[in-house]
């Protein structure tokens, strides 16, 4: 089979399509024939060597990609035979690359893809969907009527978080570029503050929850718009000084790991039409272009690479 790998750190140009042995599922694992994979910002940071000890180090050569969707084609010992032939989406364990024609993953980490949801749409949901679900449902426990700010509302995680917050009944405010204002409003945001035209910290106050997807100076400014007792929830992003945060607010880091409950929840909302994935779709051969676009950080929604059916592959 073929897989995207890199032998040295650098830009997207270091990525190569290499021949690899077909993986064999072990006990409790399945072999998934991948039909679509998504690009996530962390992929480029790992490829560039920018995370260092934070990511636990990366042994080279290494693969890339963390999530995707495909069809179960092989079963390890102890796996339910009913999974064979089913379309699933997955967030692979840390260190397990998914930009490949086939991968093995624990069966317990999979979510079944509902009928009517395409592999490309399903592939866009695992990492970004888990980030949105865990932050707003599991950590924030977002309730109807609460006021929430989603930073970077047009991005891969942000555009899902805006829709999820709207579905949960919150009053949703988001930051985005002026060019993406109408797009984010169409997702269900009640208000968009264009970061290239205005300072959100000067315009907002008294919020119940802020979901920060940027970090650094934006993280510190996000704390200033919360009410006393409000919650700042965030992912690992640009560094910040936690000691500089206000003492009268709460803050929580979202821990990201394979989560079939969160994936199933997001898939169900997509199948019902309550959430949509905004996709930039590319053929698998354009893997370097996908990470180039992801590294730039200005794409709407998610970037997805689609793999052809094995019977049509050269």
215/99 same-domain check: no
On whether the pTM is more than 0.85, the answer is yes
- Which residue, of 253, 269, 291, is where some domain finishes? 253
User: Would you say residue 262 lies in a domain?
Assistant: no
User: Would you say residue 303 lies in a domain?
Assistant: yes
Which residue blocks in the chain are alpha helix, DSSP H? 41-48, 119-123, 126-133, 156-167, 181-186, 200-203, 216-223, 260-272, 287-296
**How many CB atoms within 10 Å of residue 120?**
20
User: Would you say residue 69 lies in a domain?
Assistant: yes
Number of domain units in the chain: 2
User: Would you say residue 267 lies in a domain?
Assistant: no
Mean pLDDT across 281-308: 94
User: Would you say residue 263 lies in a domain?
Assistant: no
Domain CATH code at residue 7: 3.90.180.10
User: Would you say residue 160 lies in a domain?
Assistant: yes
pLDDT digit string (tens) for 109-127?
999 999 999 999 999 999 9
233/283 same-domain check: no
Reported as half-sphere exposure (CB side, CA atoms, 13 A), residue 67 has a value of 33
CA 239-244-250 angle, to 5 degrees, is 95
CA distances from 138 to 103, 132, 152 (A): 29, 10, 20
Residues 45, 61: Cα–Cα separation, whole Å? 15
User: Would you say residue 205 lies in a domain?
Assistant: yes
Domain CATH code at residue 180: 3.40.50.720
DSSP 100: B
Residue 174 structure tokens: 């988001």
Mean pLDDT across 282-297: 95
Domain that holds residue 239: 128-253
117/162 same-domain check: no
pLDDT digit string (tens) for 179-211?
999 999 999 999 999 999 999 999 999 999 999
236/300 same-domain check: no
């Amino acid at each position: 089979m073929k897989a995207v790998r890199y032998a040295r750190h650098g830009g997207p140009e270091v990525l190569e399509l290499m021949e690899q042995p077909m993986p064999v599922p072990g006990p409790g694992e399945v072999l998934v024939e991948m039909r679509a994979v998504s690009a996530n910002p962390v992929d480029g940071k790992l490829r560039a060597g920018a995370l260092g000890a934070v990511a636990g180090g990366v042994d080279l050569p290494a693969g890339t990609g963390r999530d995707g969707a495909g069809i179960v084609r092989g079963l390890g010992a102890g796996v339910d035979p009913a999974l064979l032939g089913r379309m699933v989406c997955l967030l692979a364990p840390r260190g397990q690359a998914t930009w490949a024609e086939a991968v093995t993953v624990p069966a317990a980490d999979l979510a079944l893809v509902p009928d009517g949801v395409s592999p490309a749409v399903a592939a866009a949901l695992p990492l970004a969907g888990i980030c949105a679900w865990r932050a707003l449902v599991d950590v924030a426990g977002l309730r109807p009527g609460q006021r929430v700010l989603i930073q970077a509302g047009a991005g891969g995680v942000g555009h899902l978080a805006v829709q999820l917050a709207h579905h949960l009944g919150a009053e949703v405010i988001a930051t985005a570029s002026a060019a993406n204002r109408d797009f984010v409003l169409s997702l269900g945001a009640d208000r968009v503050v264009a970061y290239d035209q205005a300072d959100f910290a000067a315009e907002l106050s008294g919020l119940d929850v802020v979901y920060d997807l940027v970090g650094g100076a934006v993280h510190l400014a996000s704390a200033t718009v919360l009410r006393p007792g409000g919650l700042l929830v965030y992912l690992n992003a640009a560094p910040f000084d936690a000691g500089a945060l206000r003492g009268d607010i709460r803050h929580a880091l979202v821990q990201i790991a394979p989560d079939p409950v969160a994936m199933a929840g997001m898939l169900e909302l997509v199948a019902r039409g309550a959430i949509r994935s905004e996709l930039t779709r590319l053929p698998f051969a354009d893997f370097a272009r996908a990470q180039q676009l992801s590294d730039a950080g200005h794409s709407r929604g998610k970037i997805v690479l689609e793999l052809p059916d094995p019977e049509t592959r050269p």
